[in-house]
Structures are given as structure tokens and as C-alpha cells.
Amino acid sequence: MAASDVVLVTGYPSQLAREVCAEAIRSDDAARVRVLAPARRLEKARAEIEKLPDALRARVALIEGDPSAIDMGLSGAELRELTREVTRIHHCAAVLHSGVDRAVAERANVGGAKEALELASQCSGLVSLVFHSTAFVSGDRTGVVYEEELKAGQSFRSAIEETCARAEKLMRAAMGRLPIVVVRPTTVVGDARTGHVDHLDGPYLLIMLMVTSPPDLALPLPTRGDAPLNLVPVDWVARASVALGRDPRACGRTFHLVDPHALTARGVFELVAMALGRPPPRGSLPTGLAKAVLRAPGLERITNSPRAFLETLTTPVTYDASGADELLSSLGVDPCPGLESYVARLVDCVKQRSRQPGDGRREDPSSSEEVG
């Protein structure tokens, strides 16, 4: 670890960026953090920083900027100051929400990666650049996907998968000249400690459907449910990513962040049903009917594209995490907690949100940098 780390976190105030910021200063008493937030989100960013304990808040500085703009939207003086002092970068800015416009995904994911690399190349004391990618760069691949693999003949099911893969390709090409660490979490859900999640997306579609349906109704799954549904809580992803970003052995490598004991989709929603005290899912729906169900009133405020989530549920893929497991174990980072240990908190969060009309509505993806 550098004598006094200065960590730049892009994508603030997304939930992942907030968790990375907090973990960076909690786990290193000398570290200082610079968080980059766009003008339209400065008010929320300030509010989130204010929630930190006094001792931590004093080591966080908020910078207005745009991760996908030239020089991240910084003035010349701001850029020079950052490149002089920053030792580590966590590039958390990305758009991963289903249904996003291709141009938005291109600008945020590919454009943002280019700007992160450009800034990193100007940092005189850079120790690591942690690029927050996604396991879904594997596209429609099935079977076992290994950490060192990227291009393997896969097709992409969405602009999100394609642009994230292209962004990661840029990072890999730069590994010979910059100390880059790529982390690929699977499906990121809320905080395992509190259940809180900023956006209800992906598996939250079915959780919301269960929460808002009659309690004695045994809902069918939208698929057979026999494919793995690998969920990882955002706080653990941040903890693992910060630890890997501090280990020189991680530079030049890619790491899958996974639940080593992932359940099938049916197993996940059986746990959700148990937490709700309702009958477990029974049977399954044809894909076309499933899409119609996921467009039920109330769910349209969560996502405009259930297709991507349904394809996730039906893709029999496993993500090997041998490299991540080995390093994280040596760094004292516990394995990803099993869903059974925090599912009740996730469900409680959805129940609260279901009673607050509009609170779960996604922001316009063209106006936010969010991971998850």
C-alpha cells in the first residue's frame, strides 16, 4: 500500500461507488478519497457524503465531473492536481440497466473506459486502476467461463453486454503499460447488511411480483429455473474490489466475483418465498407469457426490458473464480455470503419500496452512471 493513498472513485453517488468509497477509507486510516460526480447529481452526492461518520467524511472530497467527457470534464488545474496526487483509481461509472439506449451505453461504458485510461496514463504515482466490469461480458456463452477469457465467439444479448466487453478489451490492451485490475461481479444485489438497493432491477422483478401478489398464490417461475442465478451483494463486491486493488499481484489480471455456492433460479425464489411466508414457486411459464407477466402494472417502473433478465435465467453458465478466491483468501477477505444469510433483508427492502409509489422507479439511464 502506498504511504498515503489517494483514491479516485468515478460513478458517484451510485451504490457501488458509495460502497467503494466507504470501504477505501474504512480499511485504511490514512487513505483519502476523491469522488467524481456529474453536476446533475451533486446534491445527492453531497447528501450521501454527509451520511458518513465525521472521521471518514473528513477524508472525502467531492469533485464535479463527467466520467465519459474529455478529461472527465475537469478543468486543466483540477486535472493536474488529480494526476499529481491520485495513487489508485476505481472506475465504477457505467450503465448496466436493462433496456438502455445503445448510444447511452456506448458513451458511458466505452467512452468512460477510454477517459479512465487517459487519466490513469497521466497519473505520476499510479499504483492501480480497478476497472469495474461485469461477468456478463460472456454474452450468451454456456458452460464454464474462466477469468482470463474475454473473446470466445460469444454473441451479445444487449448493448450493455457488448459495450462492457468492448470497454474491457480496451483495459486488457492497456495492461502492459498500466497497473490495471479488472473485476467482474455476477448479478449485483443490495447490501447484505441492510438489504438496501438503489434500483430494483433484474431478480428484483420477481421479488416485487411475489411481494405484490396474493400471499397464498403459488406463482409459477417465468422459466424452468434450473440454470444458476449467481447473486453477489454490493457491499461484498466493494470489499473484494478494494482489497484486490491494493494487491500488486492482482495487476494485469481479471477476477470473477461470485457466490461460490450459487443457487439455481428456482432455489433463489424458493428462498424469497420462504422469507415472505408464502408458497414456493410452482411450475413455469412459456417465455412469451413470462414476458407479459413481467410487464404487469407496477413492474414497468422498474424496467422496460424483461427479455434480458429472462435470458439470464435460462443461460446455463458458471463463472470460475479460482484467481479471485486464491488472492482474496490470502488477503483475509471472507467468501461471498450465501443468499440465505441476507435474503430476508433484501425482501424487507422490496416490501418497503412497494409501499412507496414511485420510489423504485429507475432514473433515466441517459442521465446517470450506475453499476448494477
Q: d(Cα 5, Cα 10) in Å, to the nearest integer?
A: 16
CB atoms within 10 A of CB 145: 20
Supply the pLDDT for residue 253. Answer: 98
Range of 85-99, 172-186, 357-371 with top mean pLDDT: 172-186
**Domain locations in the chain as residue ranges:** 6-189+231-261+320-331, 204-228+263-315+337-354
Q: Give the Cα separation of 319 and 138 in Å (integer).
A: 9
Say if residue 213's pLDDT is above 70: yes
Tell me the CA end-to-end span of the chain in Å, nearest whole number. 28
Q: Identify the pLDDT of residue 201.
A: 84
- Counting other chains too, the contacts that 269-276 makes at CB distance below 8 Å and 24 or more residues apart are 269/206, 269/207, 269/210, 269/221, 269/225, 271/339, 271/340, 271/343, 272/206, 272/207, 272/210, 272/343, 272/346, 272/347, 273/210, 275/343, 275/344, 275/347, 276/210, 276/211, 276/215, 276/347
Residue 297 burial by CB count (10 A; 0-12/13-18/19+): exposed, middle or buried?
exposed
Helix or strand holding residue 92 (H, E)? none
The answer to whether 322 and 228 have CB atoms below 8 angstroms apart is no
- pLDDT value at position 360? 46
Q: Supply φ then ψ for residue 155, to 5 degrees.
A: -100, 155
Nine cell digits for residue 365: 439511464
Cα 229 to Cα 334: distance, rounded to the nearest angstrom = 21
Average pLDDT of span 121-144 = 97
pLDDT for res 312 = 79
Task: Kindly report, residue by residue over 255-313, the tens digit of the pLDDT.
Answer: 999 999 999 999 999 999 999 999 998 887 666 656 666 565 555 554 445 566 777 78
Q: Is 264 exposed, middle or buried (CB count within 10 Å of its CB: 0-12, 13-18, 19+)?
A: middle
Distance CA 203, CA 261 (A): 17
8-57 pLDDT per residue, tens = 999 999 999 999 999 999 999 999 999 999 999 999 999 999 999 999 99
For residues 311-339, average pLDDT: 95
Question: What is the spatial distance between Cα 363 and Cα 99, in angstroms, rounded to a whole number?
Answer: 12
Share above pLDDT 90 across residues of the chain, in percent, rounded to a whole number: 74
**Distance between CA 136 and CA 315 in Å, rounded?**
11
**In terms of residues, how long is the chain?**
372
CB atoms within 10 A of CB 261: 12
In this prediction, residue 298 carries a pLDDT of: 53
Look up cell 487517459; give the residue: 118
Q: What is the mean pLDDT of residues 229-235?
A: 97
- What pTM value is reported for the model? 0.92
Alpha-carbon gap, residue 24 to 222, rounded angstroms: 39
User: Where does residue 369 rank: exposed (0-12), middle (13-18), buried (19+ CB within 10 A)?
Assistant: buried
Please say whether the dihedral angle defined by the alpha carbons of residues 49, 52, 55 and 60, taken in this order, is positive or negative: negative
Q: What pLDDT does 287 receive? A: 61
Residue 179, strand partner residues: none
Question: Residues of 194-233 as b/e, b for ≥16 C-beta within 10 angstroms?
Answer: ebbbbbbbbbbbbbbbbbeeeeeeebbbbbebebbbbbbb
Confidence of residue 80 (pLDDT cuts 50, 70, 90): very high
Specify the CATH superfamily of domain 6-189+231-261+320-331.
NAD(P)-binding Rossmann-like Domain (3.40.50.720)
Q: What is the mean pLDDT of the chain?
A: 90
The span from the CA of 92 to the CA of 71, in Å, is 16
**More confidently predicted of 297 and 235:** 235
**Number of Cβ within a 10 Å radius of residue 148:** 9
